[in-house]
Amino acid sequence: MPELQTKKKVLSLIQPTAVPHIGNYVGALRNWAGMADDYDCVYGVADLHALTIRPEPPALRRQSLEAFAMLLALGLRRGNNVVFLQSHVPEHCQLAWLLNCYTQFGEASRMTQFKDKSTQHADNVNVGLFTYPTLMAADILLYQADYVPIGADQKQHLELCRNVAERFNGLYGQTFVVPEPYIGKIGSRVMSLQEPTKKMSKSDPNPKGAISILDTPAEILKKCRSAVTDSEACVRHADGKDGINNLMTIYAACTGKAFGEIEQEFAGKGYGDFKNAVAEAVVEELRPFQEEYRRLLSDKAYLIQAAAEGADAARRLAAKTVGKAYRKVGLWDGRR
């Protein structure tokens, strides 16, 4: 008898309103396709979450399609993976409402991201911003995900999700898998090109600090050339050389070279040469992804079909969980 194998499930949703940067790429995105060997993965575009900052409708539509194409260009549509848009699966809203009723106002009020975002968007502190973590909990619990790859800033939200899931399971019996953070192999941590003591971030207001994964070769070169360095003019990894350390990290992540090798390669050369080489390495690293992304965007019929298939597959999984949770809390299904 063949052994029955069930893979653990990984879930990750990306926001359509901010394009990922090279840090996201080497730290997370480029590793996702390979994960299909070991896990069943669910990837989505979190377009409902994007509404909390009231994007312009045409921009949101375009960015959602682009983010979906990005997920496909990363090679994520393989194995048993599901790739979809959140708004195509109404179960996200259904479960989010239910979870709202099992989340205490006090615990939601402790979320630091709500406090940060309500300061950032002081003119639009909407309830969606406040209940963002319960929608995120629904995203995760709907698919019975075992693992969620998250950045440090989502830790608190995942903790809330775990608490709510445990509370619900405690009240009604096993309903949701309680998810854990996914700790991948230690990826490189890329810092801002302009302030190399701070990590590269999508929400950095200075566009020169981050290389977007959709930047053109000319933009990449320009950003690398204007990266902050030091006055020593020696490519070596050392304390106090944050800018050069960071460029070396990026170069290493894109070429697979060790720091020692890089130091030898650039011995006696200036920062100008090094920066050009970093830019070229980034361009080459991103080239296959960018080519596939552009190819997909020019094939809208394919994207439409892939989105429909993704939504069907996602709904099959999500509807099961919502049905179960609805029954447990005593909602009458009108059939029996």
Residues that bind ligand ATP (CB under 6 A): 18, 23-24, 27-28, 149, 151, 153, 187, 189-190, 199-203
Which of ligand ATP, Mg ion, none sits in contact with 71, Cβ below 5 to 8 A by type?
A: none
Helix H or strand E segment including 9: strand 8-14
Give the dihedral of Cα atoms 294, 282, 78, 85; nearest 10 deg.
-60
Q: Is 116 in the site for Mg ion (CB under 5 A)?
A: no
Closer to ligand ATP at the Cβ: 134 or 246? 246
Closer to ligand ATP at the Cβ: 24 or 194? 24
Q: Is 323 in the site for Mg ion (CB under 5 A)?
A: no
Instruction: Catalytic residue, from 9, 199, 223, 275: name it.
Output: 199
Closer to ligand ATP at the Cβ: 23 or 310? 23
Helix H or strand E segment including 165: helix 155-172
Closest CB to ligand ATP belongs to which residue?
27
Closest CB to Mg ion belongs to which residue?
151
- Smallest separation (angstroms) from Mg ion to the CB of 169: 29
Q: In what order do the strands lie in the sheet with 82-85?
A: 82-85, 39-45, 8-14, 147-148, 180-181
State the CB neighbour count (10 A cutoff) for residue 180. 13
| Residue 8 known to be catalytic | no
Instruction: Catalytic residue, from 7, 8, 115, 117: name it.
Output: 117
- Smallest separation (angstroms) from ligand ATP to the CB of 198: 9
Q: Of 67-75, 99-107, 144-152, 314-322, which part binds Mg ion (CB under 5 A)?
A: 144-152
| Residue 199 known to be catalytic | yes
Which of Mg ion, ligand ATP, none sits in contact with 305, Cβ below 5 to 8 A by type?
A: none
Closer to Mg ion at the Cβ: 88 or 117? 117
Q: Distance from CA of residue 167 to its chain's centroid?
A: 27
The answer to whether the CB of 70 falls within 8 A of the CB of 110 is no
Helix (H, G, I), strand (E, B) or coil at 148: strand
Place of tokens 């393989």: 78
Q: Of 49-57, 126-134, 148-156, 292-300, which part binds Mg ion (CB under 5 A)?
A: 148-156
Cβ-count burial of 250 within 10 angstroms (0-12 exposed, 13-18 middle, 19+ buried)? buried
Instruction: Catalytic residue, from 7, 8, 202, 269: name it.
Output: 202
Long-range contacts of 51-54 (CB under 8 A, 24+ apart): 51/128, 52/117, 52/126, 52/128, 52/129, 52/132, 53/17, 53/121, 53/124, 54/124
Q: Nearest 5 degrees, angle CA 131-CA 324-CA 102? A: 30
- Name the site residues for Mg ion (rule: CB under 5 A): 151, 153
> Which of the residues are catalytic?
117, 199, 202
